[in-house]
Structures are given as C-alpha cells and as structure tokens.
Amino acid sequence: MQRRIRKAAVIGSGIMGGGIAALLASAGIEVMLLDIVPFDLKDEEKNDPKARNRIVQAGLDAAIKSKPPLFMDKKKDPEMISIGNLEDDLNKLAECDWIVEVVVENLKIKQELFKRIDGVRRKGSIVSSNTSGIPLKEMSKGLSLEMRQHFLGTHFFNPVRYMHLLEIIRGDKTLPEVLEFMANFGEKMLGKGIVWAKDTPNFVGNRIGVQGMGKAMQAMLEHGLTIPEVDALFGPPMGRPKTAIFATSDLVGLDTMAHVSKNCFDLCPNDEMRDTMKIPDFVNQMIEKKLLGNKTKAGFYKKELTPEWKSIRKVINPKTGQYEEYGKPDFPCLEAAKKAQTLPEKLKAIVYGDDRGAKFAWDVVSNGLIYSANRIPEISDTIVDIDNAMKWGYNFEMGPFETWDAIGVKKSVKRMEKEGLTVPKNVKKMLATGATSFYKLKGGKKLYFDFATNKYKEMAANEKAIVLADLKANKKVVKTTASCSLIDIGDGVFDLEFHSKMNAINKEMVDFMMEAGEYVLDNGVGMVIGNQASGMPAPFSAGGDLAYMLGLARAGKFAEIDGFIKNVHKGIMGTKYAPYPVVAAPYGLTLGGGCEVCMAADRIVAHADLFMGLVEIGAGLVPGGCGMMHLWRNYVDSKPEAAKLTDMAGFFIQAFMCVAQAKVSSSAADARKNGFLKPTDRIVFNRDILIGEAKKEVLKMVDDGYVPPRKKKIPVFGREAHGMLWAEMNNMKIGGYITPHMEKIAKRAAVCMSGGDVPQGTLVSEEYLMNLERETFVDLWRTEETQKMAEHIMNTGKPLFL
C-alpha cells in the first residue's frame, strides 16, 4: 500500500500543538486542529459552535500571532487548518492519515484520549504522541493491536518550525514500515532531522539536556559562580546558543524545565546521576513565586527600566533571591577562547584552563560526557543519535561525543581518572582497542565508534545529504582561499562555498568567483553556490564586506570602490551568463550581496526558512551587485510576455519598497511573495539535503540541454516613477517619517530601479542599469552620512537613520 499523508489531525492546540499544525500547514498538508470544549460554558453557549471551539480558536490565533512566526505564510497557510473540538468532531478523525496527540502531559488523560481515538480512527492510519516524557508502553495499554501497530512517538522541539530535531520512538508493536514512513515523511516533507529514540523517560535530547542543566545549576552553587558567569562560559565560546543555561530556562519556562526534570527523576530510579536532576532549592522557590521566565517577564533574568527609561538587565542572586545588577563576566579562559580560531581550540582553552570558570566548566562538561556515554544503549543505540539530538534540539554546535573528540578523548579520560571520576566502561573498552576518537574519516567515509560491536562503523549516509565538511576532509577541495572554496561535489558539479565571517562577501571572494568559474568551465558541468554555516539563524551570507569599502571611502579611494563594483558586476554577470547552469542554495540569513548572488543564478533552491532581502539602505547604500535590476526583472518577468503591463506602478512600488524598506522575508514562501524568488525557484524543507537538491537541479538542467539565458532588454517604469516618488517623499518628509539622507538614498534607489530619466516602457540594457547602480553606489560612499551609517551598522549591528 502506498502511504500518504493527505490530512493530519493535531489534538491539542497549545504551543506545541499549534506549532505542529503550523508546520504541517506550511508544508501544504491539510490539518484538523482539535482541542477540548471549555468547561465553563454558559447555558446559552452550550449549542454555540463558536463558544465550543473557543479554546482551539485561541490556540490557533496564538500560533498565527507568534514571534518568531510559526507559519511560513501567515495569511495563506492558516487556511489549510480547520478547527474543531473533541466532542463534536471526534468522528472526523476517520478522515485523517496521521493523528498526533499533543495534549497535557498527563498519563490518564492521554490514555483515555487514545482509547477514544481507537474507536473512531480509520484502519491503517498512523497515531503518534508528542509526549516529551511519558512512556509509550503506558499510553498504549489496552489499545487494539491494529492501533498499536500504527502507534509511535513523534517528539518535536519548541519552536517547532525552527528546531530541527524530531525524535521518533518505537512502540512495542509498531510496524517497521510505519516507522520508516514517518521518518521519511518527517525528513522530507517537514524538513526535520530524525533521531531514533527508545521508549525511555524524556527520550534522548531532554534526558541529556536536562541532566546537563541540573548539573550546571548545582555546580554553580558548589563552585560559587554567578548566573551571568555560567551563561558566559556555556554560550558561544563553547559552541552553544547565546542563551546558554539560564536564559534558555527562562525561554523554556522554569516550570516546564522543572517538570521535565522531575519526570526524569521519578521514572529513572536507577540512574547513576539521578541526583543531578534535582532542581536546586532556589529555583523551586522561584517557581513558587511565579518567576517562571520570559512568560512571566521575570525568571533568572529580568529587564527593568530605570527612571530615565533605560532598560537594564538584572539577574537573580541565588543566595538572596533578589534581582541584582552584575558586571561583565571575566575569566582568563574566556579571554583565551576568544583568541582561539576554531571551536575545538576554544573548548580546550576553557575546559583545560585553571581559573575558577575553567574548573567549573570542566566539572560540568566532564560530567555530561560521562553521562552521555553511560546512556548507550539505554536511550539510543549510537553516539550519532545523541550528538544529533543535542545539535538539533538544543542548538549545540557539537554533540557530547564530538565535544569529547574536540578536547581529546585520551587526555580528558586521563584527567577524569586522576580526579576519581568513573569513566564509562564502553569508553574504556574503546580506548583499549587503540581507538582515540569517537569519529574518524577512512577512505573518504565517515565512521563512528559503535559501542555494541566495539568497532568503527560507517555512518548511515543520507544519500541526498551532501556534507561539505566531510568532502573537504576528503580532499575534494579543488581551489581555496581564506574566505571561500570550490569543492567537487561529484558528477561534474562544483560547489562554491563561502566561509568568511558571517559569510560576508569580500574582494577575495569576488576575485575567486571568476577563477572558480573558469575552473568549472574547463572541468565541470555546473555549479552550486551553497554553504553550511550554523547559527540561529545561520548565515548563508550576511551581505557585503562593509569594512573594506568603508576603509576605501575614508581614504578617499572612490576610484577603487568603483573598480570593486565593476568587478562585482563582472563576477555576478559571469555566473549569470556562464555556459553551464548555476544554482544557488540559500538558507537562513541571505542579505544584501548574498541575496544578489542568488538572484543572478539560473535557479534558486532555497531552504524553507529563508530570511532574504536587500538591506543595503540600512548601511546608507543601495544594493551594488545588480540586486535592484534582478529584483525588478523578477517582477516584470513574472507575467507572460503577451500580457500587457498597463500599471507599471503596481509592480514598481512593490519592488521598490523591498529595497527602500530593507524588507527581509520571513520564510522562503514570503521571499517568493516579494519577488526575491522566481516562480521556477524551488523550496526545500530540509536544510540537510539543500545542496544535494541544488546539485540535482544542476544535473537536470544539464540533462535537459542547458543554454545560458539570452541577453535581453528590460522594460522600465522610467521618469513616471520619479513623479510618484518625489510626490510621496514630500509627504513622508513633512510627516517626519524619513530623514534627509534616507530620502536621498530612497530617491536614488528609485532612479536606479526605474531605469533613470526615460519614458515609461522604455527597453533598456542591463549594462545601462548596472552603470546607474554603480555610479549611485560610489556617489553615496562619497557622502559623510553614508560613511557614518555604514560605520554605525558595522559596529552596532543596528541601522543609524541620518
């Protein structure tokens, strides 16, 4: 039987239920969202469907309003969702191919619900629970065999759209094909990274994660550190999110965290580190006082306004329970980590340092490594699943075993033994075989150490997933510089990878693009422009190298800026008209120059979470890499040539506002709505397969017989745009909505996008538009205001409006 999920039911409309419904809807799947009928209905409301659906409606509304947005298209995606309640609409579950339960974490309620579902569901439909900790075997007690064969755990992480992890838990009777189907569905349709978890309390991510947080909190008190000190150590310097330990708890909610910890403590009586799951007293007192984190506007951190309306961040003092102000944490090991280039070096600098902070970090990290190794095979069969769970569910750059490799297994084990820590048996056994790392590359294949067989095993490779780091380690780099590389990704396709800071586009890259082009011309069939940076959101490319151009401007070297832009144009148009197909694979932050590189490609294969825009105006500039021209072209090309464009303004205003307001898309769907993506560009839900899909697209274009686009002239709105814009800018100026220099930039952008001083409908050449853009770009750099704006955004990350 060919399984398909045409319609899904999500039961429970809280944060997780709403998030799952939103993700499914964004992926184009029809959803029925159900919740309970309110208990407090008045008599006259008892037959009113609106009143009966009040809870689920509120849940859906909250999902639509959530920030960051859960829906990829806030207007259209919610239309995929119908709402209902568990009394009137239960029978409709028979229409659904997948029913996912996301109700309150209460075994009895869940058991009762599953019994009711068993009575109405269609045979063969899949039923899953999103529980974060309740054992499946308890929930499935007393259910029909047929349902149990189709019953599993699908554990998403919050916020559902943005967290990559999906834990799949096998029930005792689940059919293998059901598990396989759901893993494939989660991976391909929903873009998730699958971790196979066992039916143990809190599964993988939260078991390791919560133990780590508990240990860190306890150790903080033992070592006498402060909350800001802990967060400074356990944040970006260790490859973890900025929110580190305590700000993450604020984000999740202290009560939720405590609940998950308690669940683990109660259900794992034999856990050797059970005591680390105990939440410290001061935290319990905070929960009693309803200091639950961001949702109550006060947790470990609290924002306060001074009488001068200045926002200050106060932190709770565990000893006094009072909020206090703390200075910036300062440890020698943090200083050393700051200087280190790579994450392994940073990690080593911290855990092997000898200051207070370093000793604390070692205590927590070593404990976490030991705990993770001891969990195999209890919670998962492989180290890979545990590493993935922490990377995808907690946004760590490295999982525990990768971290262990980074700090050196032998060295750290020695220290553990010296300090009297119990080194896990499986790790000792591994070292005894002569193996010194959990992962290694051999013959171009990535291997991991399998504890069960005490041997290295090949990683189960996702055929579609191309991992650039692995290819690089396998010497597939054919050309490289400090900021970018050309990598052979097989079948004659080469990947142009950016790897500068924030993947900002600099002079070196522009020169390299041309060299890389020549290489592909001689040796390949096509090119992918793609990279795999991490972060939240990760940068495909955050824009152009402002520092370089600002330096030139400050030195009065405007001819050099002009020359640089000429080269940028050459590079960008070179990829556009190359005799081989070029496919860009953007994801995450794709701003300014990054956006412009993509728009010049033959096709874009974008990750669904795409934050794309031409934001140069915030730095006092206009886009300088043909961005305005290509955005406008996307607009006019989106209609069949035979249809006459009578209202050019209807197209122009939208395209112009993207630039003038520095609009950044909230998703790939939104980028398409705003014309950054063409109708023929593709959206892929799973970032892991993005480069693979882009490569597929290149090969398909080659197979179809590729010829580069023909040069053609572009119709422009011309001087009519100026009349409109000058009139409207007058209103904005008097209304106090625009500052003088911003007005100047906006007007100059309008002139560039409208093709200068020509009548409406004039067909102009690309070279003409490029010259307009380049002259404008250089002219703006000549102004003191633009130099100030660029400097300000470089230093603060925020625009200065002059």
Instruction: Tell me whether residue 365 or residue 729 sits nearer to other proteins (CB atom).
Output: 729
* Distinct helix (H) and strand (E) counts, the chain: 32, 26
- Which residues, numbered 637-676, are part of the site for other proteins (CB under 8 A)? 646-647, 649
Q: How far is the CB of 634 from other proteins (least distance, A)?
A: 22
- DSSP single-letter state for residue 515: H
User: Strands 603-607 and 682-684: what pairing?
Assistant: parallel
Which residue, 326 or 726, has its beta carbon nearer to other proteins? 726
Per CB under 8 A, the segment of 44-52, 683-691, 692-700, 716-724 that binds other proteins is: 716-724
Q: How far apart are alpha carbons 778 and 768 in whole angstroms?
A: 16
CB of 728 to other proteins, least distance (A): 8
Beta bridge partners of 448: 439, 457
Strands 484-488 and 539-541 turn out to be unpaired
Q: Which of residues 724-753 bind other proteins (CB under 8 A)?
A: 724, 726-727, 729-731, 734-737
Give the x-and-dash track for 757-796 against other proteins (CB under 8 A): x---------------------------------------
Q: Which is nearer to other proteins, 127 or 752 (CB)?
A: 752
Number of residues that bind other proteins (CB under 8 A): 18
Least distance to other proteins, CB of residue 145, Å: 42
Q: Which residue in 381, 637, 720, 743 binds other proteins (CB under 8 A)?
A: 720
In this structure, how many other beta carbons lie within 10 angstroms of the beta carbon of residue 696? 18
Specify the residue, 366 or 776, whose C-beta has the smaller distance to other proteins: 776
Are 622 and 778 a contacting pair, CB within 8 Å?
no
442: CB partners within 8 A, 6+ apart: 456
Least gap, CB of 754 to other proteins (angstroms): 10
Smaller CB distance to other proteins: residue 565 or 729?
A: 729
Q: Which stretch binds other proteins (CB under 8 A): 324-332, 551-559, 625-633, 721-729?
A: 721-729
Strands 714-715 and 301-305: unpaired
Strands 165-170 and 151-156: antiparallel
Shortest CB 612 distance to other proteins, Å: 28
Report d(CA 375, CA 640) in Å as an integer.
60
Q: How far apart are CA 429 and CA 412, in angstroms?
A: 15
- Contacts of other proteins in 449-478 (CB under 8 A): none
Considering the complex, state which of residue 274 and residue 722 has its C-beta at the smaller distance from other proteins.
722
Query: Which of 120-128, 326-334, 485-493, 718-726 is the region at the interface with other proteins (rule: CB under 8 A)?
Result: 718-726
* Nearest residue (CB) to other proteins, 434 versus 736: 736
Q: Which stretch binds other proteins (CB under 8 A): 30-38, 73-81, 454-462, 723-731?
A: 723-731
- With contacts defined by CB under 8 A, name the span among 37-45, 488-496, 697-705, 720-728 that binds other proteins: 720-728
CA distance 578 to 522: 12
Q: Tell me how far, at minimum, the Cβ of 755 lies from other proteins, in Å.
A: 13
Could you report how far apart the first and last alpha carbons of the chain are, in Å?
A: 64
User: CB 725 → other proteins: shortest distance, Å?
Assistant: 8
Structure tokens at 403: 């971290």
Q: How far is the CB of 749 from other proteins (least distance, A)?
A: 16
Omega before residue 377 within 30° of 0, cis: yes
CA dist 292 and 259 (Å) reads 12
* Residue found under tokens 């990290």: 365
Question: What's the closest the beta carbon of residue 64 comes to other proteins, in angstroms?
Answer: 21
Q: Is 288 in the site for other proteins (CB under 8 A)?
A: no
Cβ 730 to other proteins, closest distance in Å? 4
* Least distance between other proteins and beta carbon 646 (Å): 8
Q: CB-wise, 56 or 738, nearer to other proteins? A: 738
Determine phi and psi for 714, rounding to 5 degrees.
-115, 130
User: What is the chain's Cα-based Rg?
Assistant: 28
| 770, β-bridge pairs | none
CA–CA distance, 438 with 468 (Å, rounded to integer): 20
Residue with Cβ nearer other proteins (422 or 731): 731
Minimum distance between the CB of residue 650 and other proteins, rounded to whole angstroms?
9
Burial code (b: 16+ CB inside 10 Å, e: under 16) for 132-152 equals bbbbbeebbeebeeebbbbbb
Distance CA 242, CA 16 (A): 23
Binding residues (CB under 8 A) for other proteins: these are 646-647, 649, 719-720, 722-724, 726-727, 729-731, 734-737, 757
